[in-house]
Amino acid sequence: MKVVLPDASELELPDGASGLDAARAIGPKLAEQAVLLRVDGSTRDLRLPLADGERIQILTTRDTQDEDALAVLRHSTAHLLAEAAIRLHPGVKIAIGPPIADGFYYDFEFPEPISETDLEAIEAEMRREIAEGRAWERQEIPREEAVARFEQEGEPYKVELAREAEGPISLYTQGDFTDLCRGPHLQDASPIKALKLTGLAGAYWRGDERNTQLTRIYGTAFYTQADLEAHLERLEQARARDHRRLGRDLDLFHFDEHSPGSPLWHPKGMVIYNVLEGIRRRENARRGYLEVKTPLIYDKALWVTSGHWEKFRENMFLIPGDVEDQTYGIKPMNCPGHMLLFGSELRSYRDLPIRYAEAAPLHRNEPTGTLHGLTRVRYVTQDDAHIFCTREQITEELDGCLEYLRYLYALVGMEPHAELSTRPENKLGTDEEWDFAEAELLAALERFRIPYVVGAGEGSFYGPKIDVHLTDVLGRGWQMGTIQLDQQMPARFGLTYMGPDNHEHGVYVIHRALFGSFERFIGILVEHYGGAFPFWLAPVQARIVPVGEGHREAAAELRARLEQEGFRVEVDERDDTLGKRIREAELQKVPFVIVYGDREAEAARAWRELGKQLAMRERGGEQSTVSFDELLERFRGLAAEADPA
């Protein structure tokens, strides 16, 4: 058989040859350094056989920044973690240990609780394993044999996985440890040059709070110590920027156990929220969207029609009705209500497109263990819109969505990239309908030259979607908004329009939320800016600090004049020292501090004009003396950045 190499040359191999055989055929050094095989864009364990005509790429220890090469390194390190935990904590039961973004984890049921202090010993044991030498061996066994083996070993989680696994059952063994695992894995542990266990957390088995709560140990691994040190530095920066901590420190929001996953917004947090809401309304109006408002609660029949009862019921909050067998659901999304709006009267092709917009509170019953500050909540507010259009209008409407998207993300200095999520197994509609919808979204991304990857099978049940991602100042990727093209849901509601031929035609719907949700977007902005928001978004744009009691009246007048111009200003009249109050403003990340003392008062008397001379300190420490008019000009210029159009 022959396989095709990255340079398009062909490599001839015996039938049944593996990826490792291919590496050996090219050269012994390559075989020694090989860690993973990439076949036609997908990853494969080096030990598995190749097929005739496959296009292959052999990843090695030199591919230190390749995500797939890092994933296999971290997966194997997770298995070393499990081996170490079993050796140090007899009786522990093991669950799952996959690689994740920037690291790996393994879930355990320990016989006795462990703490962060136990991680050092476990990490040392992992290093001992690497020094002693570990190689991975793969074998396939019948399902019944796998179940019997793990029952005998007293591993109930592995028994459950083995019973439910699809396809061949594979085991990987290193040292005395054998795990149920699909792979892939390294040849041996020698490429693992740097590792670190980074934390503990609770995690319900399979993410279901009705199941046993396990202990999740997080860690990471790299091919070089330098890469690990750079990663740990980024983690330290991320901890300093954690929006949950800054939310408290900057008095923006907090959470309470009486309503898990639902933020309580403080006045300063609501300033940020309302600024973004103002931008949403302003730009929607400019782009021809119609603001609407729909109910929060609908009966079961509506959710059955929309498809959510079958596909999304487990994530809905349900309410029993006042008659037998009647059930209501609090809406997790706005689209069914907008379908009712469109269907409330006859529509002509002359009416289209119709763009409904609504930023309503939604509720999704996310498992407790998955909640994470503002980035994973149960109470969520999307900048939602639904565009009802003809087939011929799809291209123009998608272009309008992507232009709008670029405009919004440019306001916060970030460029979008995307994942094109295609048909899932539980899709509604025909393959021909999905072919058309996927092609339209793909063409739109390419017209706007937005970088994208394909997420096979990740689309919504009613249509493919563009999942929008951002990369923050620390290089972390975040999933944000979405643009979906849907023919299925309007058809389920029987929505049509009268065409120029006097016949009814099915309507298309573009579901779009560009911020994604206000909660998640704000949480990410807090971390992206580290709480030091740009002037136009800052909850307090300027703080006036009167030096003494005799300066407070002038400071109040100065505040009033700035507020008349629409700026958000505070006066700090506390009796603390001047230095302490300035330092407090810096900690609160206020963009400008204006100090008003004897020199400013003397200038006001001499010129008979308040604010002829003001001491201004910018966030970051730069100081200058300006007039009130110069201050206004500066503030107006910075405020205008919220509306560059």
- Give the pLDDT confidence of 581-636 residue by residue, as tens digits: 999 999 999 999 999 988 888 887 766 666 678 999 999 889 999 999 999 999 99
Indicate the pLDDT class of residue 644, thresholds 50, 70 and 90.
Answer: confident
Q: How does pLDDT run across 375-432, given as a tens digit for each residue?
A: 999 999 999 999 999 999 999 999 999 999 999 999 998 889 999 999 988 888 888 9
Tokens describing residue 83: 């081996």
User: What pairs with residue 595 in β-bridges?
Assistant: 545, 615
Query: What pLDDT, on a 0 to 100 scale, did the predictor assign at position 645?
Result: 66
Query: What pLDDT, on a 0 to 100 scale, did the predictor assign at position 588?
Result: 95
Q: For this structure, is 465 an active site residue?
A: yes
Question: What residue spans of 197-259 are helical by DSSP H?
Answer: 225-240, 243-249
- Per-residue DSSP letter, 112: S
Catalytic: which of 134, 196, 331, 511? 511
How much is the pTM? 0.82
Q: For this structure, is 376 an active site residue?
A: no
Share of the chain above pLDDT 70, in %: 99
Pair type for strands 542-546 and 592-596: parallel
What is the distance between the alpha carbons of residues 477 and 487, in angstroms, rounded to a whole number?
Answer: 30
Query: What pLDDT, on a 0 to 100 scale, did the predictor assign at position 613?
Result: 85
Residue 460 has pLDDT above 90, yes or no: no
- Span 46-72, mean pLDDT? 95
User: What pairs with residue 3 in β-bridges?
Assistant: 11
303, containing H or E segment: helix 300-306
| Short-list 429, 465, 136, 152, CA closest to 333 | 465
Residues in CB range of 404: below 8 A, 6 or more apart: 283, 287, 514
| Short-list 277, 210, 218, CA closest to 99 | 218
Identity of residue 386: H
Distances (CA, A) of 213 to 107, 108, 162, 175, 481: 10, 9, 20, 29, 32
Tokens describing residue 127: 């290093």
Residue 115 phi/psi, 5° resolution? -130, 175
What is the distance between the alpha carbons of residues 320 and 336, in angstroms, rounded to a whole number?
Answer: 20
Catalytic: which of 33, 57, 382, 488? 382
- Span 293-319, mean pLDDT? 92
Q: How does pLDDT run across 116-168, given as a tens digit for each residue?
A: 999 999 999 999 999 999 999 999 999 999 999 999 999 999 999 999 988 78
- Span 466-479, mean pLDDT? 88
- Per-residue DSSP letter, 573: -
Residue 199 C-alpha from the chain's centroid: 20
What is the distance between the alpha carbons of residues 56 and 642, in angstroms, rounded to a whole number?
Answer: 49
Distances (CA, A) of 215 to 203, 230, 480: 6, 27, 29
Tokens describing residue 610: 């308040």
User: When comparing pLDDT for 311 and 109, which is higher?
Assistant: 109
Catalytic: which of 196, 280, 355, 386? 386
Q: For this structure, is 364 an active site residue?
A: yes
Catalytic: which of 268, 465, 528, 551? 465
Distances (CA, A) of 82 to 106, 123, 191, 201, 214: 7, 11, 18, 16, 14
Q: For this structure, is 248 an active site residue?
A: no
What is the distance between the alpha carbons of residues 447 and 441, in angstroms, rounded to a whole number?
Answer: 10
Identity of residue 18: S
Query: What pLDDT, on a 0 to 100 scale, did the predictor assign at position 346?
Result: 94
Q: How does pLDDT run across 493-542, given as a tens digit for each residue?
A: 999 999 999 999 999 999 999 999 999 999 999 999 999 999 999 999 99
Indicate the pLDDT class of residue 367, thresholds 50, 70 and 90.
Answer: confident
Tokens describing residue 540: 């307090």
For 152-162, b/e burial (b = at least 16 CB within 10 A) is eeebebbbebb
| Short-list 48, 49, 45, CA closest to 59 | 45
| Short-list 37, 179, 175, 44, CA closest to 108 | 179
Query: What pLDDT, on a 0 to 100 scale, did the predictor assign at position 162?
Result: 94
Catalytic: which of 79, 308, 364, 589? 364
What is the distance between the alpha carbons of residues 109 and 275, in angstroms, rounded to a whole number?
Answer: 46
Residues in CB range of 245: below 8 A, 6 or more apart: 239
**Most confident residue range from 5-14, 481-490, 534-543, 575-584:** 534-543
Share of the chain above pLDDT 90, in %: 83
Torsion from C-alpha of 573, 579, 580, 586, nearest 10 degrees? 90
- Span 232-247, mean pLDDT? 92
How much is the mean pLDDT over the chain? 93
Catalytic: which of 45, 68, 118, 384? 384
Residue 461 has pLDDT above 70, yes or no: yes
Q: How does pLDDT run across 186-231, given as a tens digit for each residue?
A: 999 999 999 999 999 998 898 887 899 999 999 999 999 999 999 9
**Going from the N-terminus, what domains does the chain have, and what CATH number goes with each?**
2-60 (3.10.20.30), 67-235 (3.30.980.10), 254-529 (3.30.930.10), 542-642 (3.40.50.800)
| Short-list 443, 520, 519, CA closest to 483 | 443
Catalytic: which of 68, 74, 158, 335? 335
Q: For this structure, is 335 an active site residue?
A: yes
